[in-house]
Amino acid sequence: MTTTAPATRRVPAGGGPRAVLVTGGAGFLGGALCARLLEEGWRVTALDDLSSGHAENVPAGCDFIHADVREPITGRYDVILNLASPAAPADYMRDAVRTVMTNVTGMAQVLDAARRDGARVVQASTSEIYGDPDDALQSEAYVGRTSPVGPRAAYVEGKRAAEALCAAYARQHGVDVTIARIFNVYGPGTNPADGRVIPQFIGAALRGEPLVVNGDGSRTRSFCFVDDFTAAFAALIDAPVGLGPINIGNSEEVSIGELAQLIVELTGSRSEIRLAPPIPDEPRQRRPDIALAQRVLGWRPEVDLAKGLRLTIDAFRGVSSE
Ligand code: NAD
C-alpha cells in the first residue's frame, strides 16, 4: 500500500480473456462496470445477493452468481472489484448490522480469495469515510471526522473497517489491493426509488411535486457522472501496485439548493423547492481533490453536471413514460 511500482497488466498465464469478478454486480455501479468491462473484452462474472440490486442490471454476456459476499468465494479471478454493499442511506440503515458485516466479513472473503489466487482487488470505498470534513477540498491524506455511533455509522465505519482490512492484508500478506474513495455518482441506471438526492429531485420535478431540501440548502456535494466513474475504475485495474487510497469523483461542487434549482430548470418543472429540517449527522461539504487520479491514471471527468443531469433526466422520462 505504501510503495509505488510500475503498472503491470494482469494477464492470465494461459492467455485468453482476463477474468474479473464484480461483487455487487447487479447494482447501479456494478452493472455499469460489468457492461464496460465486457466491452473491453474481459470475462466478467457478477456476484450479488440482489438485496438492493436487480438482476436486470447484469448485462447480457456476463455470468451471474446469486450469492452473499460474506460467504467464501470459490471461483478463480485475475481481478476482483468489490462493490457489494448497500449504498443508499435507506438501504444501509434498514439492516445496519448486515451493512457492517457485509463491509467487514465480505471484504475479508474478497481479500482471502485474492490472497489464495494472486488476484488484484479494487475496493469501492467512499467519500463518506471523510465524515464531516474540516477542509473544503478532501485529499487522500485527510483522515476524516466521523462518528462510530452516529446514524450513518454502519456504512461509514463499515467502509473504514474495510479500508483497514485492505491495508492489513496488503502489509501482512502482500495482497495487491487498491482503495478507491468514490464521491457521489449519478446517471441513467440510478434506482429512481432509492432516495438518493439526484433521483429523488428528478422524480419529484417530473411529477410536479415539491423538491424537499433538508437544511438551508447550503450543504455541498460533488457529483460524478456514471460513465466517468466506470472509466476511472477500469483504469484502476491496471494502475501501479501499492498506489494507496485514491479519490474518484468530479470536483465541480454544488450546493443542494443550487442542485434543486438546476433540476427544476432542466426539467422545465413548476415544482416548488421546499426547506425541511436538516438530517442529523450529514456532512456539510464534499469536494474531492482528484490530482492523484489525474496524475496516476491520466483520467479526468468529462461530463459536467448540467450535461450529466440532462442525460439522466432523459433516461428518467423514458422510465416514467413506460
Ligand atoms: P447499489 O445498492 O445499487 O449496489 C450495491 C449492490 O451490492 C446491490 O446490487 C446489492 O444487492 C449488493 N449487495 C449488498 N450486500 C450484499 C451482500 N452481502 N452480498 C452480495 N451482494 C450484496 O449501490 P451502488 O450505488 O451501485 O454502490 C456500489 C458500491 O459503490 C457500494 O459499495 C457503495 O458503497 C460504493 N459507492 C457508491 C457511491 C455512489 O454514489 N453510488 C459512492 C461511494 C461509494
Across 156-178, average pLDDT: 98
Each residue of 280-300: pLDDT tens digit?
Answer: 888 999 999 999 999 999 999
Across 265-291, average pLDDT: 94
Q: Is the pTM of this model over 0.90?
A: yes
Q: How far is the CA of 313 from the centre of ligand 1 (A)?
A: 22
| pLDDT number for residue 6 | 40
| pLDDT number for residue 14 | 52
| pLDDT number for residue 263 | 98
Residues with CB under 6 A from ligand 1: 24, 26-30, 48-53, 68-70, 83-87, 91, 102, 106, 124, 126, 182, 184-185
Active site residues: 155
- Which residue's CA is the nearest one to ligand 1's atom 14? 85
* Reported confidence tier of residue 15, pLDDT bands at 50, 70, 90: low
- Which residue's CA is the nearest one to ligand 1's atom 1? 27
Ligand 1 atom nearest to 102, measured from its CA: 18
| pLDDT number for residue 81 | 98
Ligand 1 atom nearest to 68, measured from its CA: 19
Q: How far is the CA of 27 from the centre of ligand 1 (A)?
A: 6
Give the containing element (helix H, strand E) for 44: strand 43-48
Give the separation between CA 187 and CA 230, rounded to whole angstroms: 11
Q: Is the pLDDT score of 164 beyond 90?
A: yes
Q: How far is the CA of 194 from the centre of ligand 1 (A)?
A: 12
- The mean predicted confidence, pLDDT, of the chain is 93
Q: How far is the CA of 25 from the centre of ligand 1 (A)?
A: 8
19-185+224-249+287-301 carries CATH number 3.40.50.720: yes
Ligand 1 atom nearest to 159, measured from its CA: 34
Q: What is the CA radius of gyration of the chain?
A: 19
Across 43-51, average pLDDT: 98
- Residue to substitute in 21, 28, 64, 250 for testing ligand 1 pocket (most ligand atoms within 8 angstroms of CB): 28
DSSP structure string for 239-306: SPTT---EEES---EEEHHHHHHHHHHHHT--PPEEEEPPPTT--S---B--HHHHHHH-------HH
- Which residue's CA is the nearest one to ligand 1's atom 28? 83
Task: Say if residue 219 is exposed, middle or buried (CB neighbours under 10 Å; 0-12, 13-18, 19+).
Answer: buried
Q: How far is the CA of 30 from the centre of ligand 1 (A)?
A: 7
DSSP structure string for 200-221: HHHHHHHHT--EEEESSS--EE
- Which residue's CA is the nearest one to ligand 1's atom 23? 87
Residue 103, Cβ neighbours under 10 Å: how many?
30
* Reported confidence tier of residue 33, pLDDT bands at 50, 70, 90: very high
Residue 85 near residue 119 (C-beta atoms within 8 A)? no
| pLDDT number for residue 60 | 97
List alpha helices for 40-141, DSSP H: 89-94, 96-117
Each residue of 218-260: pLDDT tens digit?
Answer: 999 999 999 999 999 999 999 999 998 999 999 999 999 999 9
Each residue of 98-133: pLDDT tens digit?
Answer: 999 999 999 999 999 999 999 999 999 999 999 999
| pLDDT number for residue 10 | 53
**Residue bearing cell 449519478:** 186
ipTM score:
0.99
